[in-house]
Amino acid sequence: MTLQEAIGQLFILGFEGSQPSNALEAFVRDLTPGGFILFGRNLGSPEEIAALTNALQTASSTPLFFAIDQEGGKVARLQAPFTRWPSAEVVGAAGSTELTTAIAASMGRELMTVGINMNMAPVLDVLTNPANPVMAGRSYDSDPHMVARHGIAFFRGLTAQGVIAVGKHFPGHGDTTVDSHVALPIVPHDLDRLSAAELVPFAAAISAGIPALMTAHLLIPVLDQELPATLSRRILTDLLRERMGFHGLVISDDLLMQGIADSTSPREAAVRFLEAGGDLMLICHDQAAQRQALLAVVEAVEIGRLSEARIRVSCDRIARVKAQYLHRRSTASAEEIRAIVGCDAHRRLIERLM
């Protein structure tokens, strides 16, 4: 793998359209991305989603991550005929980690059937602020230990179906009053409070072996007075890697969200994220910004700001996760897809939960 191909592996990209095309397949071969993230604009029928993911996997020289935000409740990209899963809040209120695991496993079956192998879930944020505009309904509980138990149960359910779980949003978005999609939230707590609440579910998930965590665009002055968590070496390396012992994939939230983009261009954010200790950059739209960010990383290596060894460290982490999870599978038939997506067994599971 050349250096530029290796750098491409450090990106998960969004794209337009829901059908395979020559232009999209050329985009895969040109940028060699580590994977793609799917939104409503990419999602047709279950059979069409399977055809899309299969075509792009075939066009890629390396297995691709296909990621989606399928938490349940209001954050669920897959619509009918896929099962409409309840929110984390509803699942947490049921108080059964067995049910949480069963729901995640059933969700994972539907994802894998159409070629989606990575879920940007579970949410590990502790909802300690009822006025939080972005996390309402998305957190399992206001008790960090309950969030930890359900988050681990959810991760294990996905894993049982071969889906990569991505816990989010490190180091904790639960006590904010600003949506990081539109501005940079500030978390004013001291280290004792963070250790007793926000960090508890992440520490538990790390101990349980979760393969990936997503960063939050948050400013936490007690940890770093200048840089948001996504770009902070003090948070991603000193805290997450060294003190908390996380050796899995660190994935950024979308680098075009205003919590980052208001102060840092995609080019600079990509380089700073890698300097901080991150592995996989998420850029959900804007092909020009995606190309500029990739080129910025190439240029940073050429001028010595980033070392090639640093790139290879993240590539090795990505390769290990791909080797563990992304095995070439035969494409599901239309009959298999119809038998799994939105099936009666999944509806009965929801009825049992309720």
Sign of CA dihedral 115, 207, 8, 263: positive
Backbone φ and ψ for 35, nearest 5 degrees, come out as: 180, -175
Asked whether 205 and 152 are in contact (CB, 8 A), the reply is yes
Q: Which residues contact 310 (CB under 8 A, 6 or more apart)?
A: 274
Cα–Cα dist 42/49, whole Å: 8
**Eight-class DSSP state of 75:** E
Asked whether 129 and 177 are in contact (CB, 8 A), the reply is yes
Q: How far is CA 208 from the centre of its chain?
A: 18
Asked whether 11 and 32 are in contact (CB, 8 A), the reply is no
Catalytically annotated residue among 253, 286, 316, 344: 253
Cα–Cα dist 63/65, whole Å: 7
Asked whether 186 and 219 are in contact (CB, 8 A), the reply is yes
Tokens of 352: 């049992």
Closest by CA position to 207, among listed 171, 248, 154: 248
Sheet containing strand 249-251, strands side by side: 249-251, 212-215, 164-170, 118-119, 65-68, 35-38, 11-13, 281-283
Cα–Cα dist 297/283, whole Å: 14
* Residue 253 annotated among the catalytic residues of the structure: yes
Cα–Cα dist 279/281, whole Å: 7
Closest by CA position to 274, among listed 311, 240, 225, 228: 311
Return the residue matching tokens 């994939």: 249
Return the residue matching tokens 């995606």: 290
Asked whether 268 and 231 are in contact (CB, 8 A), the reply is no
Asked whether 124 and 146 are in contact (CB, 8 A), the reply is no
Residues assigned a catalytic role? 253
